[in-house]
Amino acid sequence: MDAYDVILQKRDTRAYAATPLPEDAVRRILQAGRMAGSAKALEPVRAVAIRDGAQLAAFAACGNFTPHVPGAALAVALVLVPEEGMPLGEFAQWRGPFDAGRAAQNMMLAAWELGIASCPFTVHKGDAARAVLGLPPGHIVINAVAFGYADPAARDPMRGQRPRMALESYVHWERW
Amino acid sequence: MDAYDVILQKRDTRAYAATPLPEDAVRRILQAGRMAGSAKALEPVRAVAIRDGAQLAAFAACGNFTPHVPGAALAVALVLVPEEGMPLGEFAQWRGPFDAGRAAQNMMLAAWELGIASCPFTVHKGDAARAVLGLPPGHIVINAVAFGYADPAARDPMRGQRPRMALESYVHWERW
């Protein structure tokens, strides 16, 4: 499937079937994240891949808007390893989340090409998440992604046509 | 070209030929960014597309590591419209850059499928960038992407094999 078609058709989807993901699909999703570029090639992003039901529920409890996460087939926590010598606040603003967004998008597009739906979620309770995931000191997790086959009983989630703002509103030429 | 192949092959590339991009390629790149999802579908990302040489140079001067930007065929500033009621620091950490990373990755993959190289850059001097781009009050720009056909005289930039950490180092299962 052409990359452009996957990009246009991908919709964030929050209702998943109970079907597990094939092992090679999970590997492909993680490979896609790994291959995303990063600022100065510092590779600050790591993935914690969660499929265990109890662990999914515990991790879901670290976010404020995560009712879809315990029923996901896979959640990937995008763990950030801050840049040495850069204050954490600066890293969290300037570097980490942008690179995490690049990796997340790669993962979600690779999944969508295999017919697997996904939706990112924010991990609001950083300390709780560090404990649930057993992160080393200084490592942080702000964003994660839930994956699963779309629930066929949910309202046509793979074909949802959530409107976007018009291209003319999205783009400014040369200056605002 | 399959999305997964584009994802695996895409390399951040900083040396561009002087060739301009076809109009429909520019449009496709911007469409790809527009179609990226966003937290709560708030669509906080906007694009300022810059092709004018003087404007490219002025915008490049707003970043600390941008020698490749004045020679790009196109730069896209990822402007963020902060969420109402959310303190700017929180928005910049929790929301904006992650969604900007998703949009940037979509744009770069759509470009790569057309044989167009790209590389993101950080916009360190926010106030200068606001002036150069004429942004409305409260709008911010942290990240941008440069695009262009790879310079054939540069060392094989489209086929660069920058190593990534091994998948086994990138991924942890269930917990760190």
CATH number at residue A14: 3.40.109.10
Q: Is the pLDDT of residue A172 over 90?
A: yes
Q: What is the mean pLDDT of chain A?
A: 93
Q: Which residues of A touch B133 (CB under 8 A)?
A: 172, 175-176
For residue A176, tell me if it sits in a domain: no
A:115-134 residues touching chain B, CB 8 A cutoff: 119-120, 122, 124, 132-134
The percent of residues in chain B predicted with pLDDT above 70, rounded, is: 95
Q: Which residues of B touch A49 (CB under 8 A)?
A: 171-174
For residue A119, tell me if it sits in a domain: yes
For residue B175, tell me if it sits in a domain: no
- Looking at the complex, report in whole angstroms how far the Cα of residue A94 sits from the nearest Cα belonging to chain B: 7
DSSP annotation of A66: -
Average pLDDT over every residue of A67-80 = 97
A162 in helix, strand or coil?
coil
pTM of this prediction exceeds 0.90 = yes
Helix (H) / strand (E) element for A143: namely strand A140-148
- Looking at the complex, report in whole angstroms how far the Cα of residue B23 sits from the nearest Cα belonging to chain A: 13
Question: Cβ(B67)–Cβ(B31) under 8 Å?
Answer: no
A172 in helix, strand or coil?
strand
What does the block give as tokens for A75?
A: 């959640």
Output the pLDDT for position A158: 43
- Which of A106-120, B6-20, B36-50, B151-165 is the least confident region? B151-165
The partner residue sitting opposite A101, judged by closest CB among B32, B55, B100, is B100
Question: Cβ(B86)–Cβ(B80) under 8 Å?
Answer: no
How far apart CA B100 and CA B77 sit, in angstroms, is 10
Q: Is the pLDDT of residue A162 over 80?
A: no
How far apart CA B46 and CA B96 sit, in angstroms, is 11
Output the pLDDT for position A39: 87
The percent of residues in chain A predicted with pLDDT above 90, rounded, is: 81
DSSP annotation of B142: E
Q: How confident is the model at residue B161 (pLDDT cuts 50, 70, 90)?
A: low
Average pLDDT over every residue of B49-59 = 98
Output the pLDDT for position B170: 97
The percent of residues in chain A predicted with pLDDT above 70, rounded, is: 95
Q: How confident is the model at residue A156 (pLDDT cuts 50, 70, 90)?
A: low
**Torsion A15-A17-A20-A21 (CA) sign:** negative
For residue B131, tell me if it sits in a domain: yes
What does the block give as tokens for B17?
A: 């030929």
Maximum distance among all Cα pairs of chain A, rounded to whole angstroms: 51
For residue A57, tell me if it sits in a domain: yes
For residue B161, tell me if it sits in a domain: yes
Q: Is the pLDDT of residue A157 over 50?
A: no
Instruction: Tell me which residue of A123, A125, A81, A119 sits closest to A99, measured CA to CA.
Output: A81
ipTM: 0.95
DSSP annotation of B64: S
Cα dist. B146→A87, B94, B121, B130 in Å? Answer: 27, 24, 7, 18
Helix (H) / strand (E) element for A73: namely none
Number of domains composing chain B: 1
The partner residue sitting opposite B134, judged by closest CB among A40, A139, A175, is A175
For residue A175, tell me if it sits in a domain: no
Query: Within an 8 Å CB–CB cutoff, is residue B24 touching chain A?
Result: no
Query: Within an 8 Å CB–CB cutoff, is residue A159 touching chain B?
Result: no
pLDDT in tens, B83-115: 888 888 778 777 799 999 999 999 999 999 999
Interface A–B counts its CB contacts (< 8 A) at 235
For residue B176, tell me if it sits in a domain: no
Domain that holds residue B43: 3-170
